[in-house]
Amino acid sequence: MGMNEKIKEKFEKLLAEGKRVFQECGWDGRQWDRHPSDVDYLRFRTESLNLIKRTCGEESEHYQQMRRLAEDKRASGSSFYYHQCYGVLEAAYRDFSEDFLFDIRAMIRADLLGSFIEQAETLLNEGYYVPAASLTGAVLEDTLRKMCDQRNIPYPKKTKIDALNTSLARDGAYNKLTQKEITAKADIRNNADHAKFEQFTELDVKDMVKWVQRFASEYLK
């Protein structure tokens, strides 16, 4: 099951739970026959908040709305606000289903990627191909981390490209040829960082910049 399917399944599971609570507790759109239990409300809100954070991002209006419910003194402790949590979750699911969230996130990533790639190209044009290799390697590593996040693949904070590459290939993110290409680009970055300048050329770095730009554009969705 792909990441999108897993996210969709989690959304639908929580929304189905919310509908069941509405029926059992008699929500008529304005008031409850009896309030949901505080335990159920806290768990539902926490799971919804976590899902929205991972799916929409902390800057999204969906996440900010849910955070306000979690931090508001009245809403945080009263299961009366269960229906508001449900409404935010439903809105997030609709945007997710229509690919609106990922369109926004892809545009943000593309802007950031473009900025760093432009810096690397500027360095290359001015003859500084060694720092260009280091910068492009950092872009590649960040891309792999984001791909792991999308697929819920855990990794330590100090994990390097090789470990990320192995994990992603094992998870089926890309084929063996791409895995080998990433290993080669990582070698260029490592040689640049450790002053092994004889191990790569300016042309190698030019090819590296183009390849990483294409790879990130294709896989960061």
pLDDT, one tens digit per residue, over 174-201 is 999 999 999 999 999 999 888 888 999 9
Which string of DSSP letters, residue by residue, matches 99-168? THHHHHHHHHHHHHHHHHHHHHHHHHHTT-HHHHHHHHHHHHHHHHHHHHHHTT----TT--HHHHHHHH
pLDDT tops 70 at residue 17: yes
Number of H helices, E strands in the chain: 10, 0
Question: What is the per-residue pLDDT across 102-125, written as a single tens digit (0 to 9) for each?
Answer: 544 444 454 445 667 788 888 888
Packed helices 129-150 and 176-193: angle between N→C axes, nearest 10 degrees: 140
| For residues 13-22, average pLDDT | 94
**Cα 88 from Cα 128, distance rounded (Å):** 49
pLDDT tops 90 at residue 135: no
Question: What is the per-residue pLDDT across 18-75, written as a single tens digit (0 to 9) for each?
Answer: 999 999 999 988 889 999 999 999 999 999 998 888 777 777 788 888 888 888 878 7
Residue type, 81: Y
For residue 122, count other CB atoms closer than 10 A to its CB: 12
* Percent of all residues in the chain with a pLDDT value above 70, rounded to a whole number: 90
Domain ranges for the chain:
3-98, 101-219
pLDDT at res. 74: 81
- For the chain, what is the largest distance between any 2 Cα atoms, rounded to a whole number of angstroms? 76
Written as six digits, the tokens of 77 are: 């402790």
pLDDT at res. 108: 41
DSSP class of residue 37?
P
The string over 19-49, giving b where at least 16 C-beta atoms fall within 10 Å of a residue's C-beta and e elsewhere, is eebbeebebeeeebeebbeeebbeebbebbb
Contact 107, 57 (CB under 8 A): no
| For residues 145-149, average pLDDT | 89
Chain-centroid distance, C-alpha 198: 37
pLDDT at res. 1: 52
pTM: 0.51
Please say whether the dihedral angle defined by the alpha carbons of residues 116, 119, 124 and 130, taken in this order, is positive or negative.
negative
The CATH code of the domain at 101-219 is: 1.20.120
For 128, phi then psi, to 5°, come to: -95, 70
pLDDT at res. 2: 55
pLDDT at res. 174: 94
| For residues 141-152, average pLDDT | 89
pLDDT at res. 103: 45
pLDDT at res. 4: 67
